[in-house]
Structure 1
Amino acid sequence: MVHGMATPTASLRTLAPTLIERLSSRVTADSGATTTIPAPFTGEPLATLPLTGADDVHTAYAKARVAQRAWAALPVRERVKPFLRLVDALVDRREEILDVIQLETGKARRHAYEEFLDVAMCSLYYARRAGKMLKPKRRQGAFPIATRTVELRHPKGVVGLISPWNYPFALGASDIVPALMAGNAVVHKPDTQTCLSSLWVLDLLISLGLPKDLWQIVLGDPAEIGDPLLDNADYVAFTGSTRGGKAIVERIAPRLISYSMELGGKNPMLVLEDADLDRAARGAVRACFTNAGQLCISAERLYVHERIYDDFLTKFVARVKDMKLGTGLDFEAEMGSLTYERQLEVVTRHVEQAVKEGATLLAGGKARPDLGPLFYEPTVLADVTGDMELCATETFGPVVSVYKFSDEDAAIERANDTPYGLNASVWTRNVARGRRVAARIQAGTVNINEGYGSAYASYDAPMGGMKQSGVGRRHGSEGLLKYTEAQTVASQHFMDLEPPPALGYDRYANGLATAIKLMKRFRLR
């Protein structure tokens, strides 16, 4: 049985009314409407916040465009200063933001801590490198010496950014930071349930020197504010479901603006026959149940070689059954709550349908209202078949299905048998073998002997999805340069790109043809 550590409601720290009032003032809203968000741990009210109307979205863009022009005119070295200050401030005030994240999402503190680390490390990475990434670059010209070519990078303008509820701090701030450093303004729609962490970091950045109108936050129903948010954007960045991403593309396609998206996943974990089973069992718990499985890059399909299948399952299931669930604002709980009632309904439906149709329940399998209204036990199922919804559809909860395979090729084929391609992991003592297997898996990131963190936290490398798991990348140079327009400026010197009047075009053409061979021979091209 999964262990629960129910914490009485009275013992939970709450957010100070003065903090809620200050954060509320950072919402761009004048509609007069409000909404109250609950704390997932208890279902009790957490905060009442103003809601944005369609007219407010237009106002947000107008303010952002004015602020963006002045911001883009600053040297990059000046633009990065608030973010260098942010790194220290985050470390100094980490307990405060961890409380905010936990109370608005219901996740365990150790998983909230990953969000803190992500924003701090991602901000530091780009603050140190933005100047070099955005610096004008000399490029090879049409003719050596005679053509001097430079690549410039200009900000897109105002980015419309939509961030999800599951990692609200990380997937809001860590995408907005490079967009701002690139010289853009941002109009940001976080999920209303989990907007407090975004408002918190915006409030902090303004105190550290960020112009107050540069990052606008709007809250409300997508049916009311979604269209004006997209229709006014110069670029759209979205993290969420594949269905939502497709709807956004349809809306912005007539304007031919650029976009990037991280979408859904049904991520595989492959445990090869030479894997360290204790390490793999520990890693599988982390890969499958971080943030109660509400993680785009978590593992939902676990493929284990038949030689080690029974031994691995014994170790893995024992660890799952020994997990500690709880609501405490400390690091004791290994897993927290789901965030939304609708997510609890999906998890319950997937598990009940699978068991009814013949799947074997190895661990978990039920809600835990004794701990809180949205708790569900970490669940492991075997004998899941292709006709079950759980097999191919993203659950986005604390549920994993386990499958047996006979050889490496079969495992790779099954890992790739999905419309998604976001993340994967391979477990083996032979890292060279793991890299060969990883290269054959159709996923934007693949981790060896880790579930997701080693690839995601490699900020110098791109992160994103293949197939229907996304378009574009975050992190690395692409994570910043995607928010810019590339411009080529070339000046011509000493010679023109047409023949001198006395030469004639035939002789000129023959001369150019000869020059191609000479450039090749002397490695000028």
Structure 2
Amino acid sequence: MYTYETLLAAITVEGGREVHNPATGELIGRVPTHTAADVDAAIDRAEAAQPAWAALSDEERVGYMNKIADAIEANAEALAELLSREQGKPLNGPNARFEVGGCVAWTRVPAGTPLPVEVVVDDGETYAEMHYRPLGVVGAITPWNWPMMIAIWQIIPSLRMGNTVVSKPSEYTTLSGLALNHILNTVLPAGVLETVAGAGDLGARLVESDKIAKIMFTGSTRTGKKIIEASSGNVKRLTLELGGNDAGIVLDDVDPKAIAEGLFWGAFINTGQTCAALKRLYVPDSIYDEVVNELAAFAAQMPMGQGLDEQNVLGPLQNEMQFNVVDRLVESAKASGARVVMGGNPDRDATGYFYPTTLIADIDPANELVTEEQFGPALPIIRYSDLDEAIRMANELEVGLGGSVWSSDRDRARAVAARVQAGTVWINSHGTINPFVPFGGAKQSGYGQEFGVAGLKAVAQPQVIQG
């Protein structure tokens, strides 16, 4: 079992690129910067290990998955502390310890999900079965907002289905990716999980390689489009979870106080740095002020600060780039005359990338803070008088990862949800994912599904055997 110090020592390198805590600026450690040749060598090792891994029975691979879950659990506190220091998220609340716990859940559930051979036709004349075979080597490209849990979403189903994996953590959270994969590799045979560390050019190398059968990518729509273009040469399989700008629609029959906590965490989980967070909220005239006031009252109770302080539940933005995006969009909203209910006043000279919890009311629906993904702790609240118009505004953007409807009448909420163009629409919550429930985007928020049986099938080659 590792402590934070021994885990850090196992993954850091002398003379490597410096990694700093986004809350304090302190140096945490140093990480390697791999080359294109390093990527090619990692791919070769994964390719060489894949036949023996695929030759194991499903039960044997499931056994490895359960040992991985045990290993993550045994090292959970060390992983959570490293994650908090590098990513910035607090230990408590739905943050670092929560994320490491999610790694365990998203390991045990795919391991325990049966995927039997499917008999698709058996009518006395024709007999056909559907099997799911390994693809080969999967390239897993992971973002910086949930760097451990999203890596597990990519790695574990791929391994379960007999593939090997070359994993590339984000350059912003390389330590977190290295630490998690180090723990996995205390269990796995050599070559089954390889890790490469560096910038986006290494991800491009994975995409371009003819030896990579599939890419799993979570990140921006812009990068996703580049991956699609680069993969066309060898018709590489893709699962893409891309940018979102999720809309929440409040109906006029809710109790504003009752939904305030759900709205807050839907928007501000991980300090707003979540692809499927609530990023624009549409509220009817009749209860607009009540909803805004109740949400502000709840938000005011949520402490923000350094992640290792046990009382905090909100942390800094992970990097300066993202701080500048949020700052620019909020300033645009302020300049347009929108009302700042709380926040919107960062200390730009302070240490750490802290942006205060910000609520912006009475904002033009066409303002940049509404139409662009802020990916941070700033929520625009748009007033509406006609429900059809609210649905139209929710659907008018090119993205469609998630959405939500808030109502005391579930049937009415379901009817509205059916009209929202998103891969997942939640009722009276937002972003509450489940390892048994398929998850994926609509429109330019990507394609392919993760989680559950659908997620296992997505990292396998369907094969029909007929006769």
Q: Same fold by TM-score, threshold 0.5 exceeded?
A: yes
Correspondence 1:490 to 2:466: yes
For 2:109, the equivalent position in structure 1 comes to 125
Structure 1 residues 403, 387: closer, same or farther in 2, change over 3 A?
closer
Cα distance in 1 for residues equivalent to 2:120 and 2:301 = 58
CA contact (8 A) 2:358 2:379 kept: yes
Cα distance in 2 for residues equivalent to 1:322 and 1:167 = 24
CA contact (8 A) 2:85 2:307 kept: no
- SS of equivalent to 1:250: helix
Tell me which structure has the larger Cα radius of gyration.
Answer: 1
Correspondence 1:89 to 2:71: yes
Deviations 1:158-199 (A, max 9, x none): 011111001101111122100110100111111122122222
- Aligned-pair CA distance for 1:205: 2.1
Correspondence 1:408 to 2:387: yes
Correspondence 1:195 to 2:179: no
Cα distance in 2 for residues equivalent to 1:221 and 1:411 = 40
- Aligned-pair CA distance for 1:357: 2.0
Alignment of 1:9-408 (within 5 A): 15-16=4-5, 18-24=6-12, 34-109=16-91, 110=93, 111-129=95-113, 132-133=114-115, 135-140=116-121, 144-208=123-187, 210-223=188-201, 225-232=202-209, 233-368=212-347, 372-408=351-387
Identity %, equivalent residues = 36
Cα distance in 2 for residues equivalent to 1:279 and 1:98 = 31
Deviations 1:345-391 (A, max 9, x none): 11111111221121111110022468742000011112322443212
- Aligned-pair CA distance for 1:324: 0.9
Alignment-mate amino acid for residue 108 of structure 2? L
- SS of equivalent to 1:300: strand
CA contact (8 A) 1:321 1:364 kept: no
- Aligned-pair CA distance for 1:102: 0.7
Alignment-mate amino acid for residue 449 of structure 2? R
Deviations 1:393-431 (A, max 9, x none): 111111110111223322222211211111111111112
Cα distance in 1 for residues equivalent to 2:366 and 2:70 = 51
- Aligned-pair CA distance for 1:262: 0.4
Cα distance in 2 for residues equivalent to 1:33 and 1:443 = 45
Alignment-mate amino acid for residue 218 of structure 1? V
Cα distance in 2 for residues equivalent to 1:414 and 1:291 = 26
CA contact (8 A) 1:293 1:398 kept: yes
CA contact (8 A) 1:424 1:451 kept: yes
- Aligned-pair CA distance for 1:34: 2.4
Alignment-mate amino acid for residue 203 of structure 2? G
Calculate the TM-score normalised by the size of structure 1.
0.84
Structure 1 residues 123, 226: closer, same or farther in 2, change over 3 A?
closer
**What residue ranges of structure 1 are gaps of 5+ in the alignment?**
1-13, 26-31, 492-525
- SS of equivalent to 1:154: strand
- Aligned-pair CA distance for 1:20: 2.4
- Aligned-pair CA distance for 1:460: 2.1
- Aligned-pair CA distance for 1:221: 2.0
- Aligned-pair CA distance for 1:203: 2.0
- SS of equivalent to 1:450: coil
Cα distance in 2 for residues equivalent to 1:339 and 1:365 = 18
Alignment of 1:455-474 (within 5 A): 456-457=433-434, 459-474=435-450
Structure 1 residues 202, 368: closer, same or farther in 2, change over 3 A?
same
Which of 428, 440, 456 pairs up with 2:419? 440
- Aligned-pair CA distance for 1:121: 1.3
For 1:475, the equivalent position in structure 2 comes to 451
Aligned length: 461
- Superposition RMSD in Å: 1.8
Cα distance in 1 for residues equivalent to 2:267 and 2:58 = 40
Alignment-mate amino acid for residue 9 of structure 2? E
- SS of equivalent to 2:205: helix
- SS of equivalent to 1:307: helix
**What residue ranges of structure 2 are gaps of 5+ in the alignment?**
none
Alignment-mate amino acid for residue 138 of structure 1? V
Cα distance in 2 for residues equivalent to 1:412 and 1:390 = 18
Calculate the TM-score normalised by the size of structure 2.
0.94
- Aligned-pair CA distance for 1:87: 2.6
